[in-house]
Amino acid sequence: MKTIKFLLLIILLFPHSAFAHRVGLFCYLEENTLYGEGYFGGGGSVKNAKVEIYDLKNNNLVAETVTDDEGRFSLLLENIEDIKVVLTAGMGHRAEYILKTEIEEEKAKPYSGIKFYSIMIGIGAIIGVFYLLYILRRKNAS
């Protein structure tokens, strides 16, 4: 019983230690090069960890590399498709990052995202606002 209490105390005293080792991963593409960085939730970089890049469609391993001392990596990709980057930091800690090329392109063109329904919502909202105004005027007049 005493050992259990002692263990509980330790767990309760250091609750953040469980989160401190959560691994995060951030990646972005610049032209043909993939840049990325691995980090621990409590701060600190993921050094010398294995990075695997999978093709998202077939889940084939496309490339492999290792993070440097600052947790960063960069890799030249030949044909860029939608990819999944998996960072393995050992002891079962791993993080995934999905990078879709199509979304990146859409973001680059700010005006392409206008949908017909948003125009309709706008016109509907205008009608609604002025209808409200009309009702208010009517009420005030009567």
Q: List residues binding another protein (CB under 8 A).
A: 110-111, 114, 118-119, 121-123, 125-127, 129-130, 133-134, 137-138, 141
Task: Tell the smallest beta-carbon distance from residue 112 to another protein (Å).
Answer: 11
Q: Which is nearer to another protein, 79 or 111 (CB)?
A: 111
Q: Which is nearer to another protein, 16 or 138 (CB)?
A: 138
Task: Tell the smallest beta-carbon distance from residue 130 to another protein (Å).
Answer: 4
Task: Tell the smallest beta-carbon distance from residue 103 to another protein (Å).
Answer: 16
Q: Strands across the sheet with 61-66, in order?
A: 61-66, 50-55, 83-88, 94-99
Q: Which is nearer to another protein, 12 or 114 (CB)?
A: 114
In angstroms, the Cα distances linking 6 to 3, 15, 127 are 5, 14, 67
Task: Tell the smallest beta-carbon distance from residue 137 to another protein (Å).
Answer: 5
Please state, as a whole number, how many other Cβ atoms lie within 10 Å of the Cβ of residue 25. Answer: 21
Q: Which is nearer to another protein, 92 or 110 (CB)?
A: 110
- How far is it, in rounded angstroms, from Cα 62 to Cα 3? 49
Question: For 134, phi and psi rounded to 5 degrees?
Answer: -60, -45
